[in-house]
């Protein structure tokens, strides 16, 4: 049987199992075991691959980062820190169209399951006194809530992509940042510009003081970006002095999140009881198991010769690699409805196919795969944020999808142009 059929069959098995009550981590583990035996691995050999995959430092880094990010989200939510950031921002901005988009975007700085429900009341209050269809309100809340997910280093999907691609964090951030801009452009054109009759709100008397408050409240979160950039600059300076500072790509994120947590604890005067309450969540274990399963799935793929067989078959059957790079993440995002899901299930298949590409082309194709998976995730009928936004605004799902499809088309077109330019450069 062709190797590509084996890959697609195991990939489909993961997606089918994930649609049942079985957790995605167990779905990936079953898919990895089936693929490993199918690829000719013996039980001892497969056990060796599994042990190697879960004992690598990159796995420990990923697990640590994910757990710390979940802790950070809980601490900022419990202490009211996130609410203060949003309130300070609302005082600064006058344009209600901007507020309706940027309030969910600000809340989206922290990855919270169903976080769109947190921003929905604020969006409703901003747009509540004008006759706007419920579907438009719901999608404004839903779309702008997720504009950060392409490059913001607090999102598990992005962190996992950094770990799997084995590239410096800042490089993937730089390459995928324009994709977030495309989402903003798409949302502005289709969702915000038609709201021409929306009057501006009255701003406070001292807007500079409000801006200073916004910067002060946002400082802990912005510190993460500062740490990532600072560590990269330090490594470059030391390299010029003849001192090589080599560390895993995930380490800069880990340090940044630890510093951010420390600042949040200090700013909000949190104690041991607050930390204990924030840690009482089953989601920590769920994500730990998910990361471990993803690394096992990746290890089985890289530990067998099946990827080399696929490359040969692609040449023989003349199947464009570009087709696999776009379709697999999109389907995975559509089925799982979560970034970690499409990255974890499709990237281990895609990344080996990109081996040998120049650095810029490698990152460009990775960004294309991420964008396609992201658009699939945004269209997913099991995406919790879409469902809670629809329910809160009492919108028709079919009408929501009509708007979403237009947004997705604009983003995909802009992404295709961007990736075409990058590949020509690289």
Q: What are phi and psi of 256, to 5 degrees?
A: -60, -40
Which range marks the domain in which residue 372 is found?
3-425
Q: Tell me the HSE value of 259 on the side-chain side, using a 13 A CA sphere.
A: 17
Percent pLDDT > 90 in the chain is 18
Q: Token pair for residue 350?
A: 């895609």
Pick 26 or 116 by higher pLDDT: 26
pLDDT score at 289: 84
Instruction: Return the C-alpha torsion angle 121, 127, 132, 137, nearest 10.
Output: -40
> Per-residue pLDDT for 204 more than 60?
no
Q: Which of 190, 131, 157 is nearest to 66 (CA)?
A: 157
Q: Span 302-326, mean pLDDT? A: 74
pLDDT score at 144: 93
pLDDT score at 364: 94
pLDDT score at 112: 64
Q: Which of 61, 69, 140 is nearest to 109 (CA)?
A: 69
7-18: per-residue pLDDT in tens?
778 878 877 887
Is the Cβ–Cβ distance between 198 and 96 less than 8 Å?
yes
- Chain-centroid distance, C-alpha 144: 14
The runs of H, that is alpha helices, within 303-395 are 306-317, 321-336, 339-350, 359-379, 384-392
Domain count, the chain: 1
Q: What is the Cα–Cα distance from 119 to 116, expressed in whole angstroms?
A: 5
Banded model confidence at residue 114, pLDDT cuts 50, 70, 90? low
Quote the crossing angle between the two packed helices 96-107 and 116-127, to the nearest 10°: 170
Q: Span 88-103, mean pLDDT? A: 77
> Per-residue pLDDT for 374 more than 90?
yes
Question: Structure pTM?
Answer: 0.70
Highest-pLDDT range among 150-154, 271-275, 406-410: 406-410
Banded model confidence at residue 175, pLDDT cuts 50, 70, 90? very high
> Per-residue pLDDT for 310 more than 80?
no
pLDDT score at 212: 83
Q: Token pair for residue 320?
A: 């464009």
43-73: per-residue pLDDT in tens?
888 888 889 888 888 788 878 877 887 788 7
> Per-residue pLDDT for 347 more than 60?
yes
């Amino acid at each position: 049987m062709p190797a590509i059929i084996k890959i697609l069959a195991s990939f489909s098995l993961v997606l089918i199992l994930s649609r049942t009550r079985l957790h995605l981590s167990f779905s990936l583990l079953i898919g990895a075991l089936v693929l490993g035996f199918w690829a000719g691995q013996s039980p001892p050999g497969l056990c060796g691959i599994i042990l190697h995959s879960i004992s690598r430092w990159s796995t420990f880094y990923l697990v640590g980062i994910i757990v710390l990010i979940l802790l950070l989200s809980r601490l900022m939510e419990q202490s009211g820190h996130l609410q203060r950031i949003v309130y300070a921002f609302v005082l600064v901005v006058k344009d209600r169209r901007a507020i309706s988009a940027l309030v969910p975007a600000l809340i989206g700085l922290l990855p919270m399951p169903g976080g769109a429900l947190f921003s929905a009341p604020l969006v409703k209050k901003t747009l509540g006194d004008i006759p706007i269809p419920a579907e438009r309100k719901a999608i404004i809340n839903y779309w702008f809530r997720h504009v950060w997910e392409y490059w913001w280093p607090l999102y598990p999907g992005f962190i996992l992509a950094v770990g799997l691609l084995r590239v410096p964090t800042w490089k993937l951030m730089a390459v995928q940042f324009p994709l977030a801009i495309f989402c903003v452009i798409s949302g502005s054109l289709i969702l915000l510009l038609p709201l021409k009759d929306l009057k501006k709100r009255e701003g406070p008397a001292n807007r500079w003081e409000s801006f200073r408050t916004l910067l002060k409240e946002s400082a802990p979160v912005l510190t993460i970006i500062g740490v990532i950039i600072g560590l990269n600059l330090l490594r470059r300076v030391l390299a010029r002095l003849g001192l090589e500072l080599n560390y895993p790509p995930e380490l800069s994120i880990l340090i940044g999140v630890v510093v951010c947590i420390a600042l949040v604890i200090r700013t909000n005067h949190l104690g041991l009881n607050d930390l204990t309450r924030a840690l009482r969540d089953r989601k920590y274990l769920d994500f730990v198991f998910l990361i471990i399963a993803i690394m096992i799935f990746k290890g089985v793929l890289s530990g067998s010769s099946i990827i080399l067989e696929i490359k040969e078959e692609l040449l023989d059957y003349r199947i464009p690699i570009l087709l696999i790079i776009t379709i697999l993440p999109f389907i995975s995002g559509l089925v799982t409805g979560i970034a970690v899901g499409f990255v974890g299930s499709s990237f281990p298949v895609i990344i080996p196919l990109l081996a040998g590409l120049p650095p810029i082309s490698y990152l460009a194709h990775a960004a294309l795969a991420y964008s396609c998976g992201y658009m699939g995730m945004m269209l997913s009928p099991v995406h919790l944020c879409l469902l809670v936004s629809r329910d809160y605004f009492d919108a028709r799902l079919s009408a929501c999808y009509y708007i979403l499809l237009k947004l997705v088309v604009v983003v995909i077109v802009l992404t295709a142009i961007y990736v075409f330019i990058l590949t020509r450069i690289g």
